[in-house]
Structure formats: C-alpha cells, structure tokens
Amino acid sequence: MSHFVSSGARLDRLPMSRFHWKILGLISAGACLDAFDIYLAGGVSAAMLKAGFSTLQLNALFVSSGFFGMVIGAGLSGYLGDRFGRRSSYQFNLALFGVMSFVAAFAPNIHWLIGARFIMGIGLGAELVVAAGTLCEFIPPGYRGRWISLLGLIVNSGLVVATSVGYLVIPHLGWRWMFGIAGIGAVIVWALRHRMPESPRWLESVGRTQEAEQTVSAIEAEVARGKGIVLPECPRTQNLVVPRVPLSALFRRGMIGRTLTAALTAIAVNVAVYGFVAWLPTFFVHEGRDVVTSLGFTTLMSLGAPFGAVLGYLTADRLGRAKGLVLFCIVTIVLGFVYPQMTLNAAIAVVGFTLASCIFGVVTLGLFGYVPELFPTALRLRGTGVAGVCGRIASMLTSYAAVILFAQWGLFGVLGMVAGILLLLVIAVVTLGVDANQFSLEDVSPDEEGAANGLSLNHQGAAR
C-alpha cells in the first residue's frame, strides 16, 4: 500500500452523499449571509436618511467603507486560507463579521456605524473567496460544476432575501434589526461549522499527512455508512505535499496567465453587476419612467440573479466552466446593445430579465467555478483572493465610471463599458485554454513543486 495519502484521488472517487450536502449547506449559509449583508445596505441607507441618523454624504461613506473593507478582506482571506487552513480562515471571517454586525446594530452614531461597516467589509470580502475555493476541493469532478452553481444559486438569492426581509423588518422594527438578524445568523452558522472538516487536500499539501489521512478516512467512512456500500479502491496514488509556495509564484511563468485571467473574470463580474444591475432604478427614472414602474422592472430583473445560477447549473458540467463563461459573455454583449432600443414595457421586461440572468450566469460560472479551479491547492485561496481584490477595486470605481458614461452617452455608454470588459474576458479565457470540466483539480493544476521556479501543467490533456 502506498504511503501517499492521495486525498484528492480518494475524494474524487466518492459518490455524492449526505456528507456533500452538509458541506454545501455549511459553506453556502455563510456566503448567503454575506450576500444578504451586502444587499441590505441600500434599504438601511434610505431608512437612516429618513430618520435623520445620517446624511447623503455620510451614507456614501458608509457604503464605500464596506467596499474598502472587502478589498482588504479578499486579500487577507487568501493568505489566511493558504497559510493556516480553509477552516481557520472561514471561521475567523464569519466571527469578525458576526461580532461587528452586533456593534453596528447598537452603533450610537453614524461614525461608529461607518467604522463597524469597514470591519464588517473585511469579513464580507473574505467569505466568498474562501467559500468557492473550499467547496471545489470536496466535490468530485463529475458534479463540481453543478454544485458550485448551487452555491451560486444560494448566494445570488441573497438579493431577494435581503429585499424581502428589509421590506418586512425596516418599517416595523427599524434598520438596526437588519444588522441584528445578520449577526444572529452568523453566530448560528459559526457554531454549526465546527462540525465541518478541514480540506484534506490542503492538509496534505502542507505536509500534515497524518491529519489528512484521518480526515479523509473519516469522510470515506461517513459516505460508505450513509450510502450502505463498500467504496471502490482508489484508482491512483498522488503525493500532494509541496514546498511552501510564495505569493510571487502567481506572477511567474506558467501561472501569470491564469492569475490575469482570474483577475479579469472578477473585474468583469463586478463591472457588470455594479455598473449596470445596481444602477437600473436610476437609469429607468432618468429615462422618464415613474418610480413604481422603475422598481417593478428592477424587481423582475433581480430574479435574474437566482435564475442565472440555474442556467449555470444546467450548463456547468455539460459545456464546462470556460465554454459556458464564454457563451454567457457573448449573449450578454449582444443583449446589452439590444436592450437600450426596447421601448415597449413587455420587451424591456423580457430582454432585461434575460440580460440579468446571463450576467449572473457569468457570476456563477466565473467567480464560483472557473476562478478557484485555475489555481493549485497551495495557491488556490491566494490566487482567488488576488482576483477578488481586483474585482472589489473595480466595483468601487465602476459606479463613478457608470455615472460619467451615462451622462455622456446614456445607457449605450454604460453597456458599452460592460460589453468591452466582457469581450476582453472572452479573449482571455479562449487564449488561456484551461477548463477543469470533468477533470480532477490536480489534473489541471500547474506543477506545485516547481512553483517557486516557474510552473508547467501536470497533464496537458486537461488544458486545451
């Protein structure tokens, strides 16, 4: 019997079971809480302004402080996750977010709330980086695309949940309760996550082979017991132990193309969401439609967020993450130039919903699937974190760019910006030629042992 743990190969041969649903539930619950908190900012800002707790200028600082915290959180979580483990990182992130949610709920003034929001943002920016990277390390290749789409479905639903809860809670209980609800949810998820194992792939990669063996053996026993079967022999042996890989490896030969493509993916997602979707109510009102009609269109298009994840679920394992990403980008570009020409309400609603669905299809396949699969285990969260930092910075700058472009060229200008970034992403994905669809993570990972001196693919057949 080989002395190698072969955790990746052993996890990849497992049938889908209750264990995998538990992992999905624990990871996505925290990610959905973060999405909920991101989207509650709009309703809270309006309520604070009406109550005289804040001003328009301070509201802008409140929102931007959260985004600035997300930039730091995305980078910090990558370091923590690769250095100290996935479990340590996501528990720290969620604890930070939960504690500061309660501080925000009892903030005596807007200045305290802005400070709390900044620290909450660190936890917010970190959670999605860790969530996608951790989930893909547990799910077998044949199902990974669909399961990351399920994660996307739950996270994208945070918009609908936040809007619905805010509609019921803010008018009757006040805006502070929104932060209280987020804090209570964070405490519950944090406690439940103590049952979640550390990633055996990560444990083995850093040389903690005994822990990796114990963890993967416990997972195998749980799956076999739950399914009532005897597991087949592991088809291959692998040594996943690698020397410590520096952050600079992300920017060296064999890896820099992946890093740049991942960063461009995150930038494109944030430009599309924060440059177009988030500004829809303003665009509609500016074009002369009344507020009620504007909110009706916006609500309908917001349903494109979960539906986009459904589209991702249907295509992720059939087309693959790379091909699906390219497809949704191209359809988004085409609809982006068709949409401003619509004049009838029915056409605006149908084309707008389809456009939003495709944008969130890009979000699902790009952020949750394609990006974390580009990096080897030793660099996965740092690579995803670097991409996340770029995406968060883009989200901060995009709002200003959208205002300028809309003032000069109307909706065509804004959609032209989105289309241009998506076209660059299509070129990058096609040029890179890497797709992890139906492959083990190790099959499409660069050689981690050579990370410090330049990287090359382990299995060329997985990169085409």
CA quadruple 129, 16, 441, 234: dihedral positive or negative? positive
pLDDT tens-digit series, residues 378-394: 999 999 999 999 998 99
Give the pLDDT confidence of 332-380 residue by residue, as tens digits.
999 888 887 777 878 878 888 898 899 999 999 999 999 999 999 999 9
Q: What is the C-alpha to C-alpha distance for residues 348 and 294, in angstroms, rounded to an integer?
A: 11
More confident position, 350 or 268: 268
Please give the Cα distance from 139 to 148 (Å, whole number): 9
Say what the pLDDT of residue 102 is.
96
Task: Provide CB contacts within 8 A for 111, sequence distance 6+.
Answer: none
CATH topology of domain 7-227: Growth Hormone; Chain: A; (1.20.1250)
Write out pLDDT tens, residues 141-171: 999 999 999 999 988 887 778 877 887 888 8
What is the model's pLDDT at position 1? 41
For residue 284, the model assigns a pLDDT of 62
Residue 208: phi, psi to the nearest 5? -90, 65
The pTM of this model reads 0.87
Q: Please give the mean pLDDT across all residues of the chain.
A: 86
Task: Tell me the per-residue pLDDT of 407-419, one tens digit each, with 9 for 90 and over.
Answer: 888 778 888 888 9
| 461 has pLDDT over 50 | no
Is residue 462 very low, low, confident or very high in pLDDT (cuts 50, 70, 90)? Answer: very low
φ/ψ region of 174 (left if φ > 0, alpha if ψ in -120 to 50, else beta) reads left
The string of DSSP codes covering 232-279 is: PPPS-------PPPPGGGGGSTTTHHHHHHHHHHHHHHHHHHHHTGGG
Is residue 48 exposed (0-12), middle (13-18) or buried (19+ Cβ within 10 Å)?
A: buried
8 A C-beta contact, residue 154 and residue 306: no
Q: In the chain, which residues fall in CATH 1.20.1250.20?
A: 7-227, 247-462
Q: What is the pLDDT of residues 213-233, one digit of tens each?
A: 999 999 999 999 999 999 988
d(C-alpha 83, C-alpha 81), whole Å: 6
What residues contact residue 452 under an 8 Å CB cut-off, 6+ apart? 243, 245, 246, 249
Q: Are 444 and 459 in contact (CB under 8 A)?
A: yes
Superfamily of domain 247-462: MFS general substrate transporter like domains (1.20.1250.20)
Whether the predicted pLDDT of 463 surpasses 60: no
Q: Give the pLDDT confidence score for residue 115 in this predicted structure.
A: 95
pLDDT tens profile 81-137: 999 999 989 899 899 999 999 999 999 999 999 999 999 999 888 888 889 899 999
The amino acid that residue 211 corresponds to is E
